[in-house]
Amino acid sequence: MLKKIFAILVFLVLLGGGFYLYQSSPSNVYYAQNLISLNPSQLSDYNNTRLIHVFESLVKYDKNLRIQSSLARSYGKLSPTIWEFTLKDNIYTHDGTFVDAVFLVKQLDRLRSLPSLKMHFKTIQQIKHSSDFTIQLSLTQPDPLILAKLAQVPIIDLDQPLSGTGPYQILGMKGQSLKLQRFDLYHGNLASLDKLNLIYEPDTQKRLKKLNSKGTLSVLNILPEQIQRLPQDFNYDSFSDLSSHFFIFNYKTQLGAQKDFQATIFSLLKNIDFAKFTYNQVASTDQFIPKGVFGYDPKTTSEFGIQSEFTIPKDLQGQEIQIAINSDLATFGEYLKNYFQSSGLKVKIKTLELSQAQTNDLADCPLVFIGFKSDYADSQSFFETLAKTGSRYNFGFYRNLNIQANLQKITQAQTPKERLAILQKMNQIILNYPALGVPVYENKVYYATKMGYNLSKRLDGVLDFYNLMQD
């Protein structure tokens, strides 16, 4: 009770200071995708990009996806398997609870039991407090990704699941709008906006019309071709969401494993203008690993050369080639079918839910189209998910002893330099025969921000409405 009374006193003091934009400042932000849940432990891009303003973690990413302090004002290794975090001494949850080491250890111990967060705690053996504002994590083994994992663990009290520690607190949902309000007990600089409304509007035209509304601050998922016809009092920009899209060769099929087939598909796909087909909503790429993800190497190239003019091998002429794609990409599938057939290949598109696909579902598909976003902005998860022998999502049944050896080797590497070298080596391996597949594009998201407001964005496209500045 004393802690909550103290919290109220601090609240009254803070009302007298801080820099705020005027109440009439635009505060409505429109998204094309809906929230999955108000529970931040249900990790998804649709959740994280909005709830990051409400819930915080021990450490966080800066705009270049480097780890920096958050609830912990300092942190470091005491040994290869023991990490220590010293907390700030002025942290409150949105319901007024004072946050110290005892509170934090209790919540982390509860969070580690949640299925959605188990992999983040996989190498953590024990969590304990060593003083009022210091906690220690003991690991089962050295883990070079432990800080990146902790950056994705939101600190929440499961008894008060809507109460975070962030610069904004949840007022509630009204229709499709998540209504937030500045939290005046925040442990850092106060948010510049008093209120922030994060609104789901799936209709493209209705979303664009919001650019003419007085309260609009930002609108996401704008088509590039529409920008020239939009209001002039908005700035327009784009970002990559760090997801990559590619075709995987299915080694369970005789065709998918053939070098001539792989070379033919590579040349055909590299002659497609995916940007034109998607109205510039994607950027072509020659890499499985997007720029900005740890492990990216701009020098990596495939042994399959791009040929603008080539002849389909005779043994492929007349064969029906089945391509598996996710069921929500039927229009894209028709485009692929028409393109391949105009190039001399007979193609059939098989649509299915890839996340639930079984071996038999892909038995007759030498090509599988898929997208992937690496965990922790680190490409190790890409190789473990899609290129590791026996992985549930190794849809191409890819098996490469060099990849297996390097995946084992990376578990022993501790320095970023060592890890980077191994990841870049694996990226080169999967581009050459026997290849994992053919990378084709990365997503681009276009958005508009009211002119006069400086909106910072992270390398992965997360927009920062906390540090919003007025020009």
Q: What is the DSSP string of 76-138?
A: EEEETTEEEEEEPS--B-TTSPBP-HHHHHHHHHHHTTSGGGGGGGTTEEEEEEEETTEEEEE
Report CA 162 to chain centroid distance, whole Å. Answer: 22
Determine the pLDDT at residue 414: 76
Say which residues have a Cβ less than 8 Å from residue 204's Cβ, sequence separation at least 6: 32, 221, 223
Phi, psi of 464 (to 5 degrees): -100, 105
Confidence of residue 433 (pLDDT cuts 50, 70, 90): very high
Task: Provide mean pLDDT across the span 197-209.
Answer: 95
What average pLDDT does the segment 429-439 reach? 96
Name the average pLDDT for the chain. Answer: 89
Identify the pLDDT of residue 358. Answer: 86
Q: Does the pLDDT at position 309 exceed 80?
A: no
Contact present, 283 and 444 (Cβ < 8 Å): yes
Token pair 């009254």 is found at: 12
Judged against a pLDDT cut of 80, whether residue 18 lies above it is answered with no
pTM for this model (two decimals): 0.86
| DSSP string over 44-78 | -HHHHHHHTTT---SEEE-TTS-EEESSEEEEEEE
Distance CA 26, CA 393 (A): 43
Domains of the chain plus CATH, in order, are 18-39+166-233+451-471 (3.40.190.10), 55-165 (3.90.76.10), 241-444 (3.10.105.10)
Could you tell me what percent of the chain has a pLDDT over 70? 93
pLDDT over 50 (residue 245): yes
pLDDT in tens, 350-374: 999 998 888 889 999 999 999 999 9
pLDDT (tens digit, 9 = 90+) per residue, 36-88? Answer: 888 888 877 878 889 999 999 999 999 999 999 999 999 999 999 999 999 99
3-class SS of residue 243: strand
